[in-house]
Structures are given as structure tokens and as C-alpha cells.
Structure 1
Amino acid sequence: MVEKTPTNSNSVISLTLGVLSILIPYIGLILGVIGVVFSRKATKEILKTNQGGGGLATSGLICSVVGIIIQIFAVMGIIAFYSLTNLG
């Protein structure tokens, strides 16, 4: 029988927050930053304890960074829109 290593819970949390950071407007920026923190924490724990979930932590990091970038562009677009409409 093959022993199954437990999946790191922080890696699951980071992936969940990463996906939510892409889907939820405005709050997604905060969720993305928290997702990056959980992903880095999960990666360090996985290396130390030899748990599973390394792919989940990496996916969570990527989704969180993509969510942060999308949210920053959305906020910049809103700022640009309102600054241009107040010129006239």
C-alpha cells in the first residue's frame, strides 16, 4: 500500500483566494494579496514537512498575482474614467 501524504491546508486556501481575487471586483485586490501570503506560507511548510499540495500552492500564487493585476487595471480604469469625465 502507498501512503498518502496529507495536502497542506494553506495551499488550498491560497488557491481559493486566488480564484476569488479574479472573480470578485474591488475586494479581489485584498484577497489576492492574502492569497500570495498563504501561498508563500504553504510553500515553506510543504518543503519543511514534506506534505502534498505544492501544485495547489503554485496555482494559488499564479491566480492571486493575475487577480491582483486585473484588479489594479480595473481601479486604474475607473480612476481614468472619472478623471476624464470631470475635465469638461
Structure 2
Amino acid sequence: MNAIARPTSSLAVVALVFGILGWTFLPAIGAIVAVITGHMARAEIRRSGGQMEGDGMAVAGLVLGWLAIGLAIAGIAAFILFFGGIAAIAALSH
């Protein structure tokens, strides 16, 4: 049973690590790097013709990155709507 070990994409590992960092220590930078390297890793794995592993890690990094970006955008929108509403109420009450 001589199974040949396929190498794991370094970009997939980077995507997963930065996807996790995007939720912990580097929120903005980590999420963006996770998305970019996740897409690059998936392309690299597809081009390898089955000679490279790591698609699951790349997808996990992509999901974590896109979720962090989506929640950041939703948070900014909620902030603007909340304080915009308060400003509108204050302007109308005078």
C-alpha cells in the first residue's frame, strides 16, 4: 500500500489562517486576504488536475472571509441607519 501523498496548496492554508484571523486579531485585513487567497487556491487546485489538495481549507477560508466582510457591511449600515434616524428625529423635533 504505497499511497502517494498529494501536497496541500499553501494558498489554501493561508486562506484558512487569515479567515480565522479575520474573526479574531485582524478583522478587515484578514477577511480580505482570506477571500483573495481562497479564490487563488481554488484556481490553483483546479489547474493541478487532482495533484493537489486543500480545496476544503480554501472554501473554509472563503466562507469565513466573506462572512466577516458581510457582517462588517451590515454593521456599518446599521450604524448609519441608527444614527441617521436619531439625527432625523432630532432635526424634526426642533
Asked if these proteins are the same fold (TM beyond 0.5), I'd say yes
Amino acid at match of 2:46: L
Moved over 4 A (4+): none
Give the TM-score normalised by the residue count of structure 1: 0.78
Query: Greater Rg, structure 1 or structure 2?
Result: 2
Identity among equivalent pairs (%) = 24
- Mean alpha-carbon deviation: is it higher for 42-51 or for 75-84? 75-84
**Who is 1:28 aligned against?**
27
**Who is 1:70 aligned against?**
71
Root-mean-square deviation (CA, aligned residues, Å) is 2.0
Shift of 1:13: 1.1
Gaps of 5+ in 2: none
Q: 2: distance between equivalents of 1:82 and 1:32?
A: 26
Classify 1:77/1:30 alpha carbon distance in 2 versus 1 (closer, same or farther; 3 Å): farther
1:15 touches 1:59 (CA, 8 Å); kept in 2?
A: yes
Shift of 1:78: 1.8
Shift of 1:52: 1.1
Give the TM-score normalised by the residue count of structure 2: 0.74
Secondary structure at the residue paired with 2:3? coil
Does 1 or 2 have the higher relative contact order (CA < 8 Å, sep 6+)? 1
Find out whether 1:41 has 2:40 as its counterpart. Answer: yes
Amino acid at match of 1:45: E
Gaps of 5+ in 1: none
Q: How does 1:1-20 map to 2 (within 5 A)?
A: 1-20=2-21
Shift of 1:30: 4.1
Amino acid at match of 1:80: L
Q: 2: distance between equivalents of 1:75 and 1:68?
A: 11
